[in-house]
Amino acid sequence: MKTPFKYITLSLLMALGTSCSDDFLEDKKSIGLYDDTFYQTQERAQAYVDNQYYDFFSAYKSPVSTVVGSFTDANSRLTEELGGTQDYINPNKTLINSAEASTYYGAKLTTSINNHPYNRIRECNAFLEEIDVKGSNLDKTFRDRAKGQMYYLRAIQYFDLMRTYGGVPIVTTYQNASADDPTIQIPRAKVSEVVAQIVKDLDMAASLLPGKWDTEYGRFTRGAALAQKSRVLLTFASPLFNKNWDGGNERWEAALKAGLEAEAQLTQDGYGLYGNSIKQWESMFLIDNAFCSEAITVQLCGSGVTPNVTNNSWEKGIRLPSLGGSGGISAPKEMIDLFPMKSGLRPTAANGYNDFTFFVNRDPRFYRTFAFSGVKWGYKETPNAVLWAYRWVDGSNKAGFSESNNAISSPAFVRKMSNTAASKETNFQYSGTDIMEYRYAELLLNIAECYAALGQTSNTVAYLSRIRSRVGIASANNYGIGTLTDKYAAIEAVLYERRVELAYEGKRFWDVQRWMLYDNAVLPGVTGGTVTKLGLTPINGTKRTGNFLQYKNTATSSGTDPLTAARAGIVADPDAANFDAQLAALATFYNDNFTRTALVTPMDSFNGAAVNIKFNPNYYINGLHTTPLTQNPWLLQTIGWNDNFGGAGTFNYQE
């Protein structure tokens, strides 16, 4: 059964289960075509809207997954957050032909129901054209709100098409599928034209949607539409699409205006940063199926095996086997070494950072983002469980692993958004933890970035300070940010804060992409060089590093843990009043018993051999795949990619 999913409370989800069932799909005489009865009752019209929610978001089960409709973690695996070599960062592969390009664009429109981007757009178009005509008998407020949701959905679909391909055909009316109708042979629009259409849709959505829903929490709101507009205009102002990003202010000012308008609207509607402590920062991720001021848009999930409810797969995936999970996510050393110190200063030796006892004196968010051997990470059945994940080697060079955690490849593991009250028997696999797709903190960071690009460094610091003060970083030295000497330092400071605050929330790739941070290399006709201007190290040439935390002595047997007795009583509880003292004791334990050794197979490898990241400049904006190029021969291929006949692409996405 298909059911509405995203932005619908669980009770509403269940209530609507039958109206969005297979019977609903059978009533679609062909995609986008409905008989008049679909608009004669509010229930039927609502089912249409809810099915769109489902088609867009039913696959959204993990916070590191991106791109509406498909929602995979492929983009997140191209950044420092997750190890493992992918094709787009593999130095042994060069993707340039249309057959190797992204298939996200979809296939040819037909009379069957296919959940591809332009099919989803087509259904939005059909509803927007017909609801006020065939549904004129329906309540006007209901119709307006339904249209507002459709405008929002169409906008975010075009946004993800833009982020993937740059300019794409703009279709805002219902079209009948045809192989020879010249009126529907629409060329790729300029990126500026796509952005203008997205902004127009979001403005319409904002004018039609409520600030809050009385009973249907989770649906799109007026503030969400304005916040999404901020995100779109920030992307358009960024270097990938804006060759004049460093010399003109028009786009940055437009993005700033949109961000401030969204902030004002959301504040008026009761939204804002949730809580004023690191404990509340952690707990906000666990507010399920109920209003949370931080959540601008949220994926509502259900727990258990209830029919028609989709679960969050995150809890099961991040838990190690000893804690009832499916393996855990090893944190690359580059992520471990990223987070600030407790003072907010960068983690350098001069600031007291030791990368072996990496957990000492760190930003409070570090302990709610990562777990490590010796830290408390409980669950319902064993609330005081302590994680131990280390390796030892006996005299025959045979290895053993603590607590059967034999898949470890790092001393630290992702634990962000973990629910310590969840049951390993049910809630890990069938987690009901909601996923925040857009947080209020991200909006503040959007605004901070616009101020930075405009050279307004004091305003940049003010917004970054709001992010840091909320989690308990002391105010000294501008919350550890220091003095930002120019706009480049300010931009870098914002991008750094985004990496920390929004870690493992599916945002990092988009920041890397729009600022072109892999290196300074660009395609002919594209302006780059941002890595140097921002004083950053190129991502290309680096790697995600993994290590074993290993017992420093030779063990007597590979089957017997040499530290079982010694570690008894060792625990670091982030909620304990004496947490700092516990960390100091744990550091002593590490120094006495462990060393750091290289993995047998590197975290980033190809055919078993270590590799460094190599992301080619034509990957920033993908080429059109062979299928749409063949079926739509009037479409131009993207620069840096070959078309279906082997010719070089000519469509330039940067304006």
Q: pLDDT tens digit string along 63-74? A: 999 999 999 999
Cβ(296)–Cβ(266) under 8 Å? yes
Q: Which amino acid is at 633?
A: P
Tell me which residue of 27, 26, 31, 106 sits closest to 69, measured CA to CA.
Answer: 106
**How far, in Å, CA of 295 to CA of 604, rounded?**
34
Beta bridge partners of 572: 375
Report the pLDDT averaged over residues 48-53.
93
DSSP readout, 567-602? TTT--B-TTSTTHHHHHHHHHHHHHHHEEEEE-SS-
Instruction: Decide if pLDDT at 312 tops 50.
Output: yes
Phi, psi of 439 (to 5 degrees): -100, 155
What is the distance between the terminal CA atoms of the chain, rounded to a whole angstrom?
45
Torsion of Cα atoms, 508 then 510 then 513 then 519, to 10°: -10
In sequence order, which residues have a C-beta less than 8 Å from that of residue 393 and are 6 or more positions away? 399, 400, 550, 551, 554, 555, 558
CB atoms within 10 A of CB 71: 19
Positive or negative, the Cα torsion across 360, 365, 371, 377? positive
Per-residue pLDDT band for 432 (boundaries 50, 70, 90) equals confident
Instruction: Decide if pLDDT at 378 tops 90.
Output: yes
> In the chain, how many H helices and how many E strands?
20, 10
- What's the pLDDT score for residue 37? 76
Tell me which residue of 515, 369, 504, 496 sits closest to 439, measured CA to CA.
Answer: 504
- What's the pLDDT score for residue 5? 32
DSSP for residue 560: S
3-state secondary structure 32-101: CECCHHHHCCHHHHHHHHHHHHHHHHCCCCCCCCECCCCCECCCHHHCCCCCCCCHHHCCCCCCCCHHHC
Q: Using the structure block, give the residue that is written with the tokens 């039913």.
A: 58
Percentage of the chain with pLDDT > 70?
A: 93
- What's the pLDDT score for residue 195? 98
- What's the pLDDT score for residue 426? 81
Tell me which residue of 651, 619, 655 sits closest to 636, measured CA to CA.
Answer: 651
Tell me which residue of 394, 429, 221 sits closest to 319, measured CA to CA.
Answer: 429
DSSP for residue 638: B
Q: What is the helix (H) or strand (E) element at residue 195, kind and residue range?
A: helix 191-208
- What's the pLDDT score for residue 11? 28
What global pTM score does this model have? 0.94
- What's the pLDDT score for residue 440? 98
Domains of the chain plus CATH, in order, are 1-104+209-312+432-544+607-655 (1.25.40.900), 315-414+547-598 (no CATH)
DSSP readout, 125-163? HHHHHHHHHHTTTS-HHHHHHHHHHHHHHHHHHHHHHHH
**Mind listing the pLDDT tens digit for each residue in 585-643?**
999 999 999 999 999 999 999 999 999 999 999 999 999 999 999 999 999 999 999 99
**Mind listing the pLDDT tens digit for each residue in 96-149?**
999 999 999 987 665 556 789 999 999 999 999 999 999 999 999 999 999 999
Q: Which two tokens stand for residue 186?
A: 């629409």
Q: Which amino acid is at 51?
A: N
Q: Using the structure block, give the residue that is written with the tokens 């950053």.
A: 536
DSSP readout, 11-30? HHHHHTTTTTSHHHHHT-SB
- What's the pLDDT score for residue 185? 87
CB atoms within 10 A of CB 629: 23
**Mind listing the pLDDT tens digit for each residue in 93-102?**
999 999 999 9
**Mind listing the pLDDT tens digit for each residue in 175-200?**
877 777 888 889 999 999 999 999 99
In sequence order, which residues have a C-beta less than 8 Å from that of residue 565 and are 6 or more positions away? none
Cβ(227)–Cβ(215) under 8 Å? no
Percentage of the chain with pLDDT > 90?
A: 84
Instruction: Decide if pLDDT at 384 tops 90.
Output: yes
Cβ(413)–Cβ(372) under 8 Å? yes
**Mind listing the pLDDT tens digit for each residue in 333-358?**
999 999 999 999 999 999 999 999 99
**How far, in Å, CA of 80 to CA of 334, rounded?**
7
